[in-house]
Amino acid sequence: MFERIRRCIYFLSIIFLLTLPVHAYAGNGKIDTGDTTWLLVSAALVMLMTPGLALFYGGMVRRKNVLGTIMHSFIALAVITLQWVLIGYSLSFGPDINGFIGSLKWFALNGVGIEPSDYAPTVPHLAFMIYQAMFAIITPALISGAFAERMKFSAYLLFILLWSTFVYDPVAHWIWGGGWMSKLGVLDFAGGIVVHATAGVSALAAAIIIGKRKGYPQEPMTPHNLPMTVLGAGLLWFGWFGFNAGSALSSGALATVALVNTHIAAATATLIWIFIEWMKYGKPTMFGAATGCIAGLATITPAAGFVTPMSALIIGLAAGAICFLGLKAKGVFGYDDSLDAFGVHGIGGVLGTLSVGLFATTAINSGGANGILYGNAKQMITQIIGAAVAALYSLVVSVIILKVIDWTVGLRIDEDAEIRGVDLAEHGEEGYFL
């Protein structure tokens, strides 16, 4: 044991030494304080989304699984941060290898310092790195909604580590790190493909491979604390301003448009969702409003910095209506995507990515492109290729990762543990003593 700790300390010291050159860098005057402020604030906003997601999901499960579900999101903050600073950032944004992956040249943040990078030329490279870290953290946590209430914690840790390394990092590289999709012209402002489509499709694979919860769908599995879910949705909505407007990587016009678009889409999707419920089931629900806003936010994500505010309104409308239908899929096909990670994020992410092909205009973002409505049908083809390849890649690699974990440590807790609940069985604690 002590030998292990000692080796660990040696290892960490070596990493520390590797990073020393960072401090030799000095700013050369290109750094913009406004841009840097906004990016750092945005990093903090996106960080808050992960505990927000923990509450959002935590309220939806049965009370015996509340802590295990919250833990899935919260622990990603720790695990993926370390993965990111050691290898993830370098694999995603490091010097390109054949358009597929970043090299490990920036291993352990070697060479990632105060000097701005090409990605965000007016902010310290480290600010860009930590901002992107928050995206890498929340993405695998989104998937956890698919296998809530029945996954082994050890298997979960392995899963997010492998998934980040083999799915998130490559796809982030393809689109944002100078990889083949960015050269093809695929547009994804803040992560419709990189975050929501990859997570959503992988969630679908995970739900099918791990299997249904015991008793699903005969036994009622109603959310145990909807106020908690709504609080989580509120924090997600708030944090999403950093997610989308921060993706301008600067403070100014583009960030403003992205923030306004984000808000409009969220509001529209919320409203349309409860109206559909009202018509279909007779009553508008709070849970529906919370779900609708997240669908709107996920859908506007890839488009936030490419479309006009009125296009955002239409995108929000489509998000509410189509994701509402998307949730029905699990009933039809009989899989148990427990908290609708695919129904909301998978469908929202793809829908948003395609909406870029329709509504994008260079009047909003000169670095973007025009969509069909602005006379460029080709962009839609590019968007379809981007979404389809990323979805297929995520699906295949996720299946491999999940199967390997299932064959080695096992994905699922045993039946007795599932009856007692994840909180007691996996963590030895309970959420409530009332």
Phi-psi region of 249 (alpha: psi -120 to 50; beta: other; left: phi over 0): left
Closest to another protein by CB, 237 or 287: 287
Q: Does 337 bind another protein (CB under 8 A)?
A: no
Annotate 59-82 with b (16+ C-beta within 10 A) or e (fewer): bbbbebbbbbbbbbbbbbbebbbe
24 vs 332 by CB, closer to another protein: 332
- Nearest residue (CB) to another protein, 149 versus 340: 340
> Cβ neighbours of residue 15 under 8 Å, at least 6 residues apart?
86, 108
Residue number, 23 or 283, with CB nearest to another protein: 283
Asked if 59 contacts 287 with a C-beta cutoff of 8 angstroms, the reply is: no
Structure tokens at 351: 């829908």
Region of 142-150, 241-249, 327-335, 416-424 interacting with another protein (CB under 8 A): 327-335
Which CB sits closer to another protein, 57 or 166? 57
Minimum distance from residue 324 beta carbon to another protein (Å): 7
Residue 336 lies near another protein (rule: CB under 8 A): no
Here the contacts of 377-381 (C-beta below 8 Å, separation 24 or greater) are 379/185, 379/187, 380/354, 381/357
For position 328 contacting another protein by CB under 8 A, the verdict is: yes
CB closer to another protein out of 230 and 255:
230
Q: How deeply is 97 buried, as exposed, middle or buried, from its count of CB atoms within 10 A (0-12, 13-18, 19+)? A: middle
What is d(CA 237, CA 434) in angstroms, rounded to the nearest whole number?
31
Binding-site residue total for another protein (CB under 8 A)? Answer: 17
Taking CB under 8 A as the rule, does residue 332 contact another protein?
no
The 8-class DSSP code of residue 185 comes to T
Q: Which is nearer to another protein, 99 or 223 (CB)?
A: 223
Looking at beta carbons only, is 263 or 330 nearer to another protein? 330
Q: Which of residues 77-136 bind another protein (CB under 8 A)?
A: none
333 binds another protein (CB under 8 A): no
Instruction: Specify the residue, 326 or 368, whose C-beta has the smaller distance to another protein.
Output: 326
CB of 327 vs another protein, minimal distance in Å: 6
Min separation Cβ 412 and another protein, Å: 23
User: According to the binding rule CB under 8 A, does residue 428 interact with another protein?
Assistant: no
CA 64 and chain centroid, separation: 26
188 binds another protein (CB under 8 A): no
CB of 216 to another protein, least distance (A): 11
Using CB under 8 A as the binding rule, whether residue 367 contacts another protein is answered as no
428 Cβ neighbours under 8 A, 6+ residues apart: none
Distance of CA 65 to the CA centre of its chain: 22
Query: For another protein, which residue of 223, 275, 314, 385 counts as binding (CB under 8 A)?
Result: 223
Residue indicated by tokens 């960072």: 22
Q: Which amino acid is at 93?
A: F
What b-and-e string marks burial along 141-175, b requiring 16 or more CB atoms within 10 Å of the CB? Answer: bbbbbbbbbbbbbebbbbbbbbbbbbbbbbbbbbb
Residue 408 near another protein by CB under 8 A:
no
Minimum Å gap between C-beta 346 and another protein is 15
C-alpha to C-alpha distance for 137 and 265, rounded to whole angstroms: 24
Which residues lie across from 151 on neighbouring strands?
A: 412
- Cβ–Cβ < 8 Å for 358, 379: no
As a 3-state breakdown, the chain gives helix, strand, coil percent values, each rounded to 5, of 70, 0, 25
Q: Does 324 bind another protein (CB under 8 A)?
A: yes
Minimum Å gap between C-beta 269 and another protein is 14
Nearer to another protein, 56 or 107 (CB): 56
Verify binding: residue 340, another protein, rule CB under 8 A.
yes
Least Å distance, CB 273 to another protein, is 10
3-class DSSP assignment, residue 283: coil
Nearer to another protein (CB atom), residue 23 or residue 280? 280
Calpha distance 380→351 (Å, rounded): 12
**Footprint of another protein on residues 229-288 (CB under 8 A)?**
277, 280-281, 283, 285, 287-288
Considering the rule CB under 8 A, would residue 291 count as an interface residue with another protein? yes
Dihedral, CA atoms, 112, 114, 118, 120, nearest 10 degrees?
120
The residues binding another protein (CB under 8 A) are 217, 220, 222-223, 277, 280-281, 283, 285, 287-288, 291, 324, 327-328, 331, 340
